[in-house]
Structure 1
């Protein structure tokens, strides 16, 4: 199905245009502007979602007692604010946009006579970037997950949009139900008295076992020995990319299919009724936020029982999260065309260079937190970590537009394109 929209040319996976036969960049007018803007918001939001895991053990995002220092959030309102507004929503937006971008890439490739093998090659290189990111920079990588999920998605891109939407929703909610059953059952067993106190304590200790590995990683990061950090990744976390696939791949493919379907239905190009999009957008955002808030308050009421925290964070929040993701997307599609000032232009530019910004902020955080640089790992509480987030977002906004005014692609977007097509492209405008 051809896309008949203001986009004209293809919008690619991370904001880079693709024209497989002429191998020329898309023009500014040939892009779906809302995708760039939403992607820019999402890539900055992902930094906000990841900042706790950058500066503290990975478990601290879910479980505040895992902080190595005082978290500066005695009433846990900062935790609740992030849980309601950020966690899962930005990754969800990114996943939806990835599916839309992958469809556009494949569509343009087939129009120019290429096969899906070009998309396979592109995704393979994305997976390579993801593994480098994981083992040498930061273990919170999502690129490998996206690459493998994208390869699986190739089996479904020819389905009718409505079937893609139905299949995507089914995949998303089946994943959510599986985790709800798993963590809900564990929490019930521990809290209902169905198992003895000793068994319940043993189960909780097993759930917290990851904190020991986190502590070992923390020591490697704080030591200032970069090679010890890399070595710990290869020994302690060698199979973590695979385990991430087993936990998140079904949900991720579901979100990508939803993105494909919405793109083909005209959602991102303004073909839906704007008043209805505003109405349903606000209902999704407000309803999803209230549902997530209720879950967050319940987790806090348990004094962050580890099983309750994992049930609420991993499983329960998935149900109100999807309306919020789609509501945010709808509102940004409607409102972003009027945000053409300084801020709007720079957000869209950050979205066009989202690949570089995503990996670039991980590299920037190495300099902020690792012992061989500023050495702030384990030292900052939540409020201070959010100031680091603000600084990272300012960097994204400051560099992206001036760079793209002079160059056709972001640095990593250019490298990825050259690897995909096996050809060196001119980067200057």
Structure 2
């Protein structure tokens, strides 16, 4: 897979045959970048921890505990703080970093075969199709659609120097952090502080209260549809009510996603993922990043709890104030995983890497498992489990990922969806079985 959810460092080598065509041969284990597999494995499980609340409770509950349909007491509140510090926005950032590295890794091998960036454009178009199916038919929390759409904007920048890519990425990320901070702090101040009592802001405060009410009303409709098992009704509602959400996601999260993709490309090209940087340096800066970012996130999380997880307070914390601590944490976690990955061996580490090699299948497969667990036509547990119980479901699902991925890849060249994406990208059938 080349993306955070797709391991394209397994890109097949192409050998000319006697007819002038091309024969696919799998890249050997020695040619893989093992740290990418390991980080993907961690990330694909971490993203489930981030998303589990939105799978099992109304979507607003992802950030706002009051939206839970079950009790959200003191233990759950501290768990929410821990998730905010360690997981929320961090796994998404890690995914995005890897996606960027994967875009360049794919093109490196495509260029070596004389192919052009149009192959990458087509590949992203296929990913966009996967994402659309995921968003409209399976789960509204899809990330693939706007990864693909923002990926189109990254493709023209693949030929820039690594220094330029890093410069654009850092500048764009800082601009995004300022934008997010301003865009989300003002609503909080107007809606939930004394500022909103000023007559100059009365209309804005009323408008924000209306937006909050509408979000909860939409949650109630979706909850009824999910619990009743009315999949057709749920899809119809999603198309009508949320059909244009991916466009909004691209415009809003582009300030984070595009810079992180470019930074991921630049890091890959400088050898960050392949051992070109001294381990001691990775450890030093990795722990600094995690410590600084973690301390900042903890301060925000504790403040959020002290405020009672207010609606616009949580929006500000998750979307307005998280970019800077997220940046330190994402790069710090990535550095530590690269540094420690070579020394992490044994059956568990092998299974984590296998889960990373099949991360595309694990990402989309997780959504299928979750809708079976929670929707009314399945086990019907939507809105029934509290936060600790949802983490129990997460643990079992991660165990499932670790259980199936390695035996499958011992027998087959790619994960099922990795193979399908590859075939659609090249518009030819590749052998699946080893």
Shorter chain as denominator, the TM-score bin is: over 0.9
Q: Deviations over 1:118-144 (max 9, x none)?
A: 111110000000000001100000000
Aligned counterpart, 2:273: 268
- Which blocks of at least 5 consecutive residues in structure 1 are unaligned? 1-10
Q: Give secondary structure in 2 for the equivalent of 1:321.
A: helix
Matched, 1:15 2:7: yes
Task: Report 1:21-40 matches (<5 A).
Answer: 21-22=14-15, 23-40=24-41
Matched, 1:283 2:288: yes
Cα deviation for residue 198 of structure 1 reads 5.6
Q: Distance in 1 between matches of 2:335 and 2:51?
A: 24
Does structure 2 retain, via aligned residues, the 8 Å contact 1:19–1:112?
no
Cα deviation for residue 390 of structure 1 reads 0.3
Q: Which moved more, 1:65-74 or 1:336-345?
A: 65-74
TM-score w.r.t. the length of structure 1 is: 0.95
Q: Distance in 1 between matches of 2:407 and 2:202?
A: 61
Does structure 2 retain, via aligned residues, the 8 Å contact 1:68–1:378?
yes
Aligned counterpart, 1:339: 344
Q: Distance in 2 between matches of 1:75 and 1:131?
A: 33
Shift >6 Å, 4+ stretches: none
Task: Report 1:125-274 matches (<5 A).
Answer: 125-190=126-191, 191-193=193-195, 195-196=198-199, 199=203, 200-274=205-279
2:411 to 401, 406, 410: 406
Q: How many residues align?
A: 419
Q: Distance in 2 between matches of 1:165 and 1:176?
A: 16
Aligned counterpart, 1:367: 372
Q: Give secondary structure in 2 for the equivalent of 1:155.
A: helix
Q: Distance in 2 between matches of 1:73 and 1:380?
A: 16
Q: Distance in 2 between matches of 1:347 and 1:327?
A: 20
Q: Distance in 2 between matches of 1:83 and 1:192?
A: 27
Structure 2 vs 1, CA of residues 221 and 326 (structure 1 numbering), >3 Å: closer, same or farther? same
Q: Distance in 1 between matches of 2:238 and 2:195?
A: 38
TM-score w.r.t. the length of structure 2 is: 0.94
Structure 2 vs 1, CA of residues 73 and 57 (structure 1 numbering), >3 Å: closer, same or farther? farther
Give the aligned CA root-mean-square deviation in angstroms: 1.5
Q: Distance in 2 between matches of 1:58 and 1:249?
A: 21
Aligned counterpart, 2:69: 68
Q: Distance in 2 between matches of 1:402 and 1:21?
A: 26
Q: Which moved more, 1:398-407 or 1:198-207?
A: 198-207
